Amino acid sequence: MTDVADQLPGDLASAHAMILAERAARREAQALAARAQALNSHSDVLIARLRLEIEKLKREIHGSRSERKARLLQQMELQLEELEADASQDELAAELTARSSTVRAFERKRPSRKPFPDHLPRERVVIAAPRNCPCCGSGRLAKLGEDITETLEVIPRQWKVIQTVREKFTCRECEKISQPPASFHVTPRGFAGPNLLAMVLFEKFAQHQPLNRQSERYAREGVDLSLSTLADQVGACAVALKPVHALIEAHVLAADRLHADDTTVPILAKGKTDTGRIWTYVRDDRPFGGQSPPAALYYASRDRRQEHPERHLRNFTGILQADAYGSYNPLFKVDRDPSPLTQALCWAHARRKFFVLADIAANAKRGKNAAPISPIALEAVKRIDALFGIERDINGLVSDERLQRRQESRLIATELEAWMRAERARLSRSSPVAEPIDYMLKRWEGFTTFLGDGRICLTNNAAERALRGFALGRKAWLFAGSDRGADRAAFMATLINTAKLNGIDPQAWLADVLACIADTPITQIEDLLPWNWSLLTAAADKAA
């Protein structure tokens, strides 16, 4: 027995009407499905955005600066990016399907957009008004007002050729020919202007875009700049900028306290790549209220032998904040010439070893393969976090005030040492938590140096942040082509990252320095340093 609804009509008109009804019902169903999909995508975006805001607020309130938390926020931002794109796509699809149905179109509730900055130039495009009233046809129209819709637009990069003309004159009396001297160019034969050179340098060493990719992009814009031509300009700029680099190097090594760290950089060798190193030494006195401007110094090497930090810091005397890498040990020997450095180890490194064994969130994702949470490691993390809580409150105070406020830290550190020694005595040699405990106890003097000097920070995060660009960039440029290429990358990183630490635009600073360094007397080169340049620029803007 068949259902009445499944029976087909016997005449053509009824069949035609049934087909139209089926099509209308299908369009309604598609519109409803598209609307539901758009609504679900919008809900996913809203949830992801709120989760990201909650995590950022928790990070600000609790002051967590762990690498894991930073990677989590980056991952959440990437997920939000994809969800936003999906939601916009589903919204447009629902709008298109709703046009041929009775289903109401879905419109997302977006967060309020910030107004465009006032410094951007405005271009008025006026739509011609009708000359006659569309209702009655009268020509007696009077302007009542206007509605303005702002749209952000970008003008493609413009290339231009600057012709510098030097006129020649002859003297009617002595018949001598005179002509003004040629203007200085940073590179030989001077075909590239300072802004172009600064852009090439910034793209290569800050944005990690190799010269071959830059050359291809410029060719698509109608400007033929070969790889060898760009490389020639980069080498010439490195020579011109040496005086500025030398001053930054001297400024960093004159500090009372330095952060030191290194990271791997592949360097091309015969038929392979060697695992080279980029070393950084960061001067940042802001945590203890110092007035000296921050700066970062970089060096490159093909290996990680201890001779490299010994050579880099041969004239440095003061406090060295670093991890427990053995190559730094000769710097702390009593018989070191001119004097031994003071060792200050990083509590973030020590905490990380415990945190791996106490990471509840990571273990939950492993499921059946999860290792048991170590209660000793969890307790160690809590005790170390108490020290970090005190440090957050005293960050930026002068060294004497920091040292005074650290009396509570001394008590926590003393109790932590006694607790770890007691726990270690009960642990077997094969216990996973025994390794991080031994790591700290064997170097306890270096970890507690901060208790006697208010200038010392609890972590070496300043150096780790300074190396983050290399860690990200080496995936783009794969390897350094030679030892000199690695040295040049370290050279330019010193200039660019020092500018960033001082809160100025590295590309604008490089362009101005390249434009005027030839006309600057050697006694005034200090005016071109990032922290002095920013003051001069602000004064010039104020005078204008």
Distance, CA of 196 to CA of 41 (rounded, Å): 44
Question: pLDDT at position 421, please?
Answer: 93
Q: What percent of the chain has pLDDT over 70?
A: 83
Return the H-helix or E-strand segment holding 298: strand 295-301
Question: pLDDT at position 106, please?
Answer: 63
Confidence of residue 422 (pLDDT cuts 50, 70, 90): very high
> Per-residue pLDDT averaged across 256-269, rounded?
88
**For tokens 């139209």, what's the residue?**
20
Burial class of residue 479 in the structure, from the number of CB atoms within 10 Å of its CB (0-12 exposed, 13-18 middle, 19+ buried): middle
Question: pLDDT at position 72, please?
Answer: 62
Distance, CA of 458 to CA of 287 (rounded, Å): 10
Query: What is the residue-wise DSSP string for 114-174?
Result: PPPPTTS-----PPPPPSS-TTT------------------PPP-----------EE-TTT
Of the candidates 537, 488, 526, 521, the residue with the CA atom closest to the CA atom of residue 233: 488
Give Cβ neighbours of residue 160 (< 8 Å, ≥ 6 apart). Answer: none
483-501 and 194-205 helices, crossing angle to 10°: 100
Q: Where are the domains of the chain?
A: 20-98
> Per-residue pLDDT averaged across 453-461, rounded?
91
Judged against a pLDDT cut of 60, whether residue 103 lies above it is answered with yes
Where is average pLDDT lowest: 71-75, 411-415, 431-435?
71-75
Kindly state the DSSP code that residue 287 receives in the 8-state scheme: G
Cβ 281 vs Cβ 248: under 8 Å: no
Question: pLDDT at position 243, please?
Answer: 92
- Residue 438 has φ and ψ, to the nearest 5°, of -65, -35
Classify 69 as helix, strand or coil: helix
Burial class of residue 510 in the structure, from the number of CB atoms within 10 Å of its CB (0-12 exposed, 13-18 middle, 19+ buried): buried
More confident residue, 116 or 468: 468
Where is average pLDDT lowest: 51-65, 222-236, 458-472?
51-65
Question: pLDDT at position 284, please?
Answer: 93
**For tokens 């991952």, what's the residue?**
75
The residue type of 62 is H
Where is average pLDDT lowest: 452-456, 479-483, 537-541?
537-541
Cβ 287 vs Cβ 344: under 8 Å: no
Where is average pLDDT lowest: 180-184, 359-363, 432-436, 527-531?
359-363
> Per-residue pLDDT averaged across 354-371, rounded?
65
Most trustworthy range by pLDDT among 82-91, 124-133, 150-159, 317-326: 317-326
Confidence of residue 144 (pLDDT cuts 50, 70, 90): confident
Question: pLDDT at position 84, please?
Answer: 64
Distance, CA of 351 to CA of 71 (rounded, Å): 17
- What pTM does this model have? 0.76
Question: pLDDT at position 495, please?
Answer: 96
Question: pLDDT at position 499, please?
Answer: 95
Question: pLDDT at position 375, please?
Answer: 86
> Per-residue pLDDT averaged across 252-263, rounded?
93
483-501 and 530-543 helices, crossing angle to 10°: 50
What rounded mean pLDDT belongs to the chain? 82
Structure tokens at 372: 């048991």
> Per-residue pLDDT averaged across 430-456, rounded?
91
Most trustworthy range by pLDDT among 24-28, 348-352, 472-476, 478-482: 348-352
> Per-residue pLDDT averaged across 67-86, rounded?
62
Classify 48 as helix, strand or coil: helix
Judged against a pLDDT cut of 50, whether residue 1 lies above it is answered with no
Distance, CA of 385 to CA of 362 (rounded, Å): 19
> Per-residue pLDDT averaged across 181-203, rounded?
82
> Per-residue pLDDT averaged across 143-159, rounded?
81
Confidence of residue 316 (pLDDT cuts 50, 70, 90): very high
Classify 504 as helix, strand or coil: coil
Judged against a pLDDT cut of 60, whether residue 362 lies above it is answered with no
Please state the separation of Cα 351 from the chain's center in Å: 24
Cβ 231 vs Cβ 259: under 8 Å: no
pLDDT digits (tens, 9 = 90+) for 2-35: 555 567 777 788 888 888 888 888 878 877 777 7
Distance, CA of 519 to CA of 528 (rounded, Å): 12
What residues does 296 pair with on adjacent strands? 282
Judged against a pLDDT cut of 60, whether residue 313 lies above it is answered with yes
Question: pLDDT at position 500, please?
Answer: 94
Question: pLDDT at position 448, please?
Answer: 92
> Per-residue pLDDT averaged across 515-526, rounded?
88
Question: pLDDT at position 360, please?
Answer: 59
67-98 and 12-62 helices, crossing angle to 10°: 160
Parallel, antiparallel or unpaired: strands 342-345 and 319-322: parallel
More confident residue, 22 or 479: 22
Distance, CA of 9 to CA of 194 (rounded, Å): 81
